[in-house]
């Protein structure tokens, strides 16, 4: 077996009590069925038994995955299993085995690709991961070595990101596709927007080729895209004629739909993160939000916002992307690498395009006027937490694009590019 990972993973060290937003709070902490049952039957003190009963609730009785049960956070959004001394009660009484999978592994993302490769990366919802992405100005590098067999969870076939079966029809082209996607995102001769457009073009084509049994065309296309003139031509042909203002309208409408979906979820911290962004842009809804609006049953909800505030936020974001484009590059590379291509190359790309758009809306809302790198890392990790990490894009936002027949490359381009005038 081979192990392929970002080299920066070796630099990761949990900030523990120094973490600005520890993963024991403001977080959806899930438990699989087996972890849940193990805990409910654990030999432990009466006090811990009672706390477990109250704190961990079943949410999805049919789940075979990690979302069978979830921790019900207290009113401040903190895990009730966190003791006064800042230590986890489960860890103290039951040791590492008492922890659910998420607590044991976060922010590590490990999975298996085909029969012979494990991959390893870190989830940027963790502020320390986001800091590492900010620190690597030279771009993210991957390393590959023989797997040493020392990871009990991997050996048991337990993964934290979706695995890709060896039988997936695109398997022979897996690494050509993945490496090309990363190369496109790291092509610094293009702007980040242009790279995203070229990535869309490549992902769309690769998806079609696999679906039509024409995978052999993928390496040829990947080779063509190494020519900067061809890549630039593709990017130019995809740039929509869109002003900043109409970009803002589309972006806020996307965000507002996600906010309404988040309102229907049980996680208070998630609603709070959305509320912070909404307040920063002065988003209001019609009909007014006297009760939680339901996006599924009421298609006539209209969101309005302060466009001057949006443009201000956009400027903050643009300054980051212009002056330190490697940060956005690293964020996107970090997102793309662990995505399972078998779930849909196009779907993976569309998630990245939506996330790229949301970065512009959300990151500035979490930043003070003058900010340092730690504050920027926290803003990035919060944006990841509220969008990609809890499935709001994957499960919900993509449905809106499908419903509106907007799940296409030209529509993705509208999420990415606007003219500077």
Using the contact rule CB under 6 A, the part of the chain among 13-21, 233-241, 341-349, 366-374 near ligand SF4 is 13-21
Using the contact rule CB under 6 A, the part of the chain among 123-131, 320-328, 372-380, 399-407 near ligand SF4 is 123-131
Considering only 3, 9, 23, 328, the residue that binds ligand SF4 (CB under 6 A) is 23
Q: What is the DSSP annotation of 47-84?
A: HHHHHHHHHEEE--TT-SSS-SEEE---TTSB-TTB-T
Using the contact rule CB under 6 A, the part of the chain among 19-27, 45-53, 266-274, 332-340 near ligand SF4 is 19-27
Using the contact rule CB under 6 A, the part of the chain among 12-20, 68-76, 95-103, 319-327 near ligand SF4 is 12-20
Considering only 128, 261, 385, 394, the residue that binds ligand SF4 (CB under 6 A) is 128
Contact 330, 136 (CB under 8 A): yes
Q: Please give the Cα distance from 120 to 182 (Å, whole number).
A: 15
CB neighbour list of residue 315: distance below 8 Å, 6 or more residues apart = none
Considering only 8, 29, 79, 107, the residue that binds ligand SF4 (CB under 6 A) is 107
Q: Annotate each residue in 258-277 with x if it binds ligand SF4 (CB under 6 A) or - if it does not, as one string.
A: --------------------
Task: State the nearest-atom distance from the C-beta of 130 to ligand SF4, in Å.
Answer: 9
Task: State the nearest-atom distance from the C-beta of 131 to ligand SF4, in Å.
Answer: 9
Residue nearest to ligand SF4 (CB): 19
Task: State the nearest-atom distance from the C-beta of 242 to ligand SF4, in Å.
Answer: 36
Three-class secondary structure of residue 284 per DSSP? strand
Task: State the nearest-atom distance from the C-beta of 267 to ligand SF4, in Å.
Answer: 16
Q: What is the DSSP annotation of 323-360?
A: H-HHHHHHHHHHHHTTS-GGG-HHHHHHHHHHHHHHHH
- Please choose, from the candidates 35, 30, 2, 53, the residue with its C-alpha nearest in 3D space to the C-alpha of residue 106: 30
Task: State the nearest-atom distance from the C-beta of 65 to ligand SF4, in Å.
Answer: 21
Task: State the nearest-atom distance from the C-beta of 140 to ligand SF4, in Å.
Answer: 18
Q: Select 21 or 329, whichever has its Cβ closest to ligand SF4.
A: 21
Does 384 contact ligand SF4 by CB under 6 A?
Answer: no
Look-up of token digits 């999978």 = 101
Does 15 contact ligand SF4 by CB under 6 A?
Answer: yes
Q: Please give the Cα distance from 64 to 66 (Å, whole number).
A: 7
Q: Select 26 or 357, whichever has its Cβ closest to ligand SF4.
A: 26
Q: Please give the Cα distance from 154 to 171 (Å, whole number).
A: 20
Radius of gyration of the chain (CA): 22
Tokens of 261: 């979906």
CB neighbour list of residue 77: distance below 8 Å, 6 or more residues apart = 25, 26, 268, 269, 272
Contact 349, 203 (CB under 8 A): yes
Q: Select 126 or 140, whichever has its Cβ closest to ligand SF4.
A: 126
Tokens of 18: 């120094």
Helix or strand holding residue 108 (H, E): strand 108-113
Which residues, 212 to 251, sit near ligand SF4 by CB under 6 A?
none
Does 100 contact ligand SF4 by CB under 6 A?
Answer: no
Residues that bind ligand SF4 (CB under 6 A): 14-16, 19, 22-23, 106-107, 126-128
């Amino acid at each position: 077996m081979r192990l392929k990972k970002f080299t920066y993973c070796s630099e990761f060290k949990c900030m523990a009590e120094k973490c600005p937003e520890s993963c024991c709070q403001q977080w959806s902490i899930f438990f699989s069925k087996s972890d849940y049952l193990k805990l409910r039957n654990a030999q432990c003190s009466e006090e811990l038994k009672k706390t477990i009963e109250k704190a961990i609730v079943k949410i999805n009785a049919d789940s075979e995955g990690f979302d069978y049960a979830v921790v019900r956070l207290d009113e401040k959004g903190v895990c009730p299993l966190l003791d006064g001394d800042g230590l986890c009660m489960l860890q103290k009484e039951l040791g590492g085995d008492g922890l659910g999978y998420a607590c044991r592994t976060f922010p590590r993302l490990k999975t298996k690709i085909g029969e012979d490769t494990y991959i390893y990366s870190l989830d940027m919802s963790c502020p320390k991961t986001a800091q590492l992405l900010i620190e690597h100005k030279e771009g993210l590098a991957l390393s590959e070595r023989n797997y040493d067999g020392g990871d009990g969870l991997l050996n048991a076939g337990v993964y934290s990101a979706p695995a890709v079966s060896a039988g997936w029809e695109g398997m022979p082209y897996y690494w050509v596709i993945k490496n090309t996607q990363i190369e496109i995102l790291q092509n610094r001769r293009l702007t980040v927007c242009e790279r995203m457009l070229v990535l869309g073009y490549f992902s769309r084509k690769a998806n079609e080729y696999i679906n039509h049994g024409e995978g052999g065309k993928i390496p040829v296309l990947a080779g063509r895209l190494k020519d900067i003139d061809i890549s630039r031509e593709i990017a130019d042909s995809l740039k929509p004629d869109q002003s900043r203002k109409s970009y803002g309208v589309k972006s806020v409408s996307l965000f507002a739909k996600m906010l309404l979906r988040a309102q229907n979820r049980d996680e208070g911290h998630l609603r709070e993160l959305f509320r912070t962004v909404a307040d920063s842009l002065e988003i209001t809804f019609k009909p007014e939000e006297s009760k939680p609006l339901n996006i599924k049953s009421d298609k006539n909800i209209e969101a309005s916002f302060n466009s001057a505030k949006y443009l201000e936020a956009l400027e903050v974001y643009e300054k980051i992307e212009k002056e330190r484009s490697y940060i956005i590059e690293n964020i996107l590379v970090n997102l793309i690498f662990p995505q399972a291509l078998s779930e849909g190359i196009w779907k993976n790309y569309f998630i990245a395009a939506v996330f790229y758009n949301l970065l512009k809306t959300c990151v500035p809302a979490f930043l003070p006027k003058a900010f340092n790198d730690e504050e920027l890392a926290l803003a990035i990790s919060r944006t990841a937490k509220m969008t990609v990490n809890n499935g709001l894009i994957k499960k919900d936002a993509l449905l809106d694009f499908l419903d509106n027949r907007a799940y296409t490359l030209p529509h993705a381009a509208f999420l990415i590019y606007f003219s500077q005038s």
